[in-house]
Chains A and B, each alone.
Chain A
Amino acid sequence: MRATLALETDLAGAWLPAGGAHLSAPHRNGKKGRRMSEAKGTGSDIAVLNDCLGRVAAAADRGAFMQLFDHFGPRLKYFLLQKGCTDGEAEDLVQDVMLTVWRKAKQFDPGKAAASTWIFTIARNRFIDTKRRERVMVDFDTCPEAEQVSEETAEDEITQSELAADVAVAMAELPQAQAEVIQMAFIDGKSHSEIAEELGVPLGTVKSRIRLAFARLREVLESHR
């Protein structure tokens, strides 16, 4: 129970839409060279969510499952609304995604991804499935050419969860213009040219912002090797 409270309060600052100083302030880590996942909050939040999913897998723990629902449900609904679902469709899909989370919980591999990553992937695939926007399913779990490589470079559970925490911190510290395009791609589901159109900037600008943001993440990844 205490874990739930900690989770909800620590993430409170990050619920607001992208933009403004509140995004970077709570997690900013002034000391260079210090592990970012030691920064207050984020690391333990990810651990709490992973732990919930673990409890669902191990013991069909409904309390833990509803904790996941309370955390991800409203975010998933926002995500689906942004993608053009009606309110009713979004509600149905949230139920559908969460049921999939329940059913497939035992297949969740904390060594491979954080709970948020895994759930995001399920939601995205489920949405793509519905809209048939893309015939080619892109799922790194079922991507044979990717799987080949992951055997050799598999990272352990702790590192993955630390990585997710550090990525979250890095995201919060990105310049606003970069964080915005990342958010628009993943949450609003907009293509690069749609983003360019909406922001009124050239396509090349959108691409370079994403590249810069990703370069920062690569640095984070490097620190885990």
Chain B
Amino acid sequence: MSVANSQTLKASQNAPQNIPKHRLGDEWLVGLASGTLSEGEAMFARTCLSFVPEAANDLALAQTLGGAALERAPQAALKADARASLLAALDGAEMEPATSSPAPSPAPRKERQQGGVMPAVLQDYAGGDVDRMKWSYLGPGMKKVRLWQNDKGQTLWMLRAQPGVKIPEHTHEGTELTLVLKGSFHDAFGHYGPGDVEETDNSHTHDLVIDEGGECICLALTDRPLKFKGWIARAMQPFIGL
């Protein structure tokens, strides 16, 4: 137990080197490359990928698939003058030099903390690392912060839980995805450390236990509000605000 914990702690300090055992399914790469994810989903997927060493190759492969799909796409006839107007437009279109791509990536926000708990991509989105987040009470030993929510109730949020905390049995109407950023937890489906992703759907009811040895910080994406089974948790839910 203590060996496992020290490994987990070490892994969390070197998150990018830790190779996640539980990966996000490849359908998320297709989602990213096809641009069909919601903002919260895209952010979740990109944060997961920042733990995966071969993420660039994976994304490039998914994009190659997009190119292949375009090649296979049916054709829609363009207006008769489309060619002529494009040719005319070329006269006023200056070609950019090979090297200068105007602001290829947004300049890192000044809040970004090197070696923080949250990967750079998530820090840039949320405006800093965990210490800059406005955590609020979720339950005993648990805090949460909401990063994004859409009109369908899909929510991207973070959970910060103390070691040993047991998160009550809960079910999901949709799917819930959890990415460990720091620390580790376990449940009926396995053990999850930094970079690991757990996906659960409405067929699962689960208890989740934070491992001893350090706090656990997770990024979660839920389709709809969680439903806790215990009556205390249920009574609390209106105030939790997830």
Binding site for B on A (CB under 8 A): 11, 14-18, 23, 57, 60, 62, 65-66, 69-70, 72-79, 81, 90-91, 94-95, 98-99, 102-107, 112-121, 123-125, 127-128, 133-136, 138, 140-150, 153, 163-164, 167-168, 171-172, 179, 182-183, 185-187, 189-192, 204, 206-207, 210-211, 214-215, 217-218, 221
Across the interface, name the chain A residue whose C-beta is closest to B38. A134
What is the minimal beta-carbon distance from A143 to any residue of chain B, in angstroms?
7
- Residue contact B68 to A134, C-beta cutoff 8 Å: no
Out of A106, A107, A146, which one reaches B49, CB within 8 Å? A146
A and B contact pairs by CB, cutoff 8 A, 22 listed: A11-B71, A66-B87, A75-B75, A78-B73, A78-B76, A99-B93, A106-B98, A136-B43, A138-B33, A138-B35, A140-B60, A143-B46, A145-B119, A150-B56, A168-B68, A182-B65, A183-B72, A186-B65, A189-B35, A191-B38, A206-B27, A214-B61
A150 to B190, CA, bound (A): 31
Q: Which of B27, B30, B73 has the most CB of A within 10 A?
A: B73
- Residue contact A186 to B85, C-beta cutoff 8 Å: no
Please, which residues of chain B bring their CB within 8 A of the CB of A60? 95
Any A CB within 8 A of the CB of B13: no
Out of B30, B35, B69, which one reaches A134, CB within 8 Å? B35
- Residue contact B76 to A74, C-beta cutoff 8 Å: yes
Q: Assign chain B's interface to a size class.
A: 35 or more
Chain A to chain B: the 4 pairs with minimum beta-carbon distance, closest first:
A117-B67, A74-B75, A116-B67, A186-B69
What is the minimal beta-carbon distance from B24 to any residue of chain A, in angstroms?
11
Out of B37, B72, B86, B201, which one reaches A14, CB within 8 Å? B72
Please, which residues of chain A bring their CB within 8 A of the CB of B93? 99, 102-103
Please, which residues of chain A bring their CB within 8 A of the CB of B163? none
Please, which residues of chain B bring their CB within 8 A of the CB of A104? 95-96, 101
Please, which residues of chain A bring their CB within 8 A of the CB of B201? 204
- Residue contact A91 to B78, C-beta cutoff 8 Å: yes
Please, which residues of chain A bring their CB within 8 A of the CB of B75? 15, 74-75, 77-78
A97 to B123, CA, bound (A): 31
B135-163, CB under 8 A of A: which get 1 and which 0? 00000000000000000000000000000
Q: A103-B96, A140-B60 are in contact. Are A214 and B66 (CB under 8 A)?
A: no
Q: A74-B77, A91-B78 are in contact. Are A106 and B59 (CB under 8 A)?
A: no
Q: Could you tell me the dominant secondary structure of chain A's interface residues? A: helix
Across the interface, name the chain B residue whose C-beta is closest to A72. B70
What is the minimal beta-carbon distance from A205 to any residue of chain B, in angstroms?
11
- Residue contact B50 to A106, C-beta cutoff 8 Å: no
Please, which residues of chain B bring their CB within 8 A of the CB of A99? 86, 89-90, 93
Across the interface, name the chain B residue whose C-beta is closest to A16. B74
B12-42, CB under 8 A of A: which get 1 and which 0? 0000000000000111011111111111001
- Residue contact B76 to A164, C-beta cutoff 8 Å: no
- Residue contact A149 to B95, C-beta cutoff 8 Å: no
A66 to B88, CA, bound (A): 12
Given contacts A153-B54, A189-B36, 17 further A-B contacts (CB under 8 A): A14-B71, A62-B90, A72-B70, A75-B70, A75-B75, A95-B89, A103-B95, A114-B64, A121-B63, A145-B50, A153-B56, A168-B71, A185-B34, A192-B27, A206-B27, A207-B27, A217-B64
Any A CB within 8 A of the CB of B125: yes
Q: Which of A69, A106, A145 has the most CB of B within 10 A?
A: A145
- Residue contact A164 to B64, C-beta cutoff 8 Å: yes
Please, which residues of chain B bring their CB within 8 A of the CB of A70? 83
Q: A78-B76, A103-B93, A136-B39 are in contact. Are A218 and B61 (CB under 8 A)?
A: yes
Any A CB within 8 A of the CB of B235: no
Please, which residues of chain A bring their CB within 8 A of the CB of B31? 185, 191-192
Please, which residues of chain A bring their CB within 8 A of the CB of B36? 185, 189-192
What is the minimal beta-carbon distance from B139 to any residue of chain A, in angstroms?
30
Q: A106-B97, A117-B64, A167-B65 are in contact. Are A15 and B74 (CB under 8 A)?
A: yes
Any A CB within 8 A of the CB of B230: no
B43-63, CB under 8 A of A: which get 1 and which 0? 100100110011111011111
A186 to B63, CA, bound (A): 9
- Residue contact A214 to B73, C-beta cutoff 8 Å: no
Across the interface, name the chain B residue whose C-beta is closest to A215. B26
Q: Which of A134, A204, A211 has the most CB of B within 10 A?
A: A134
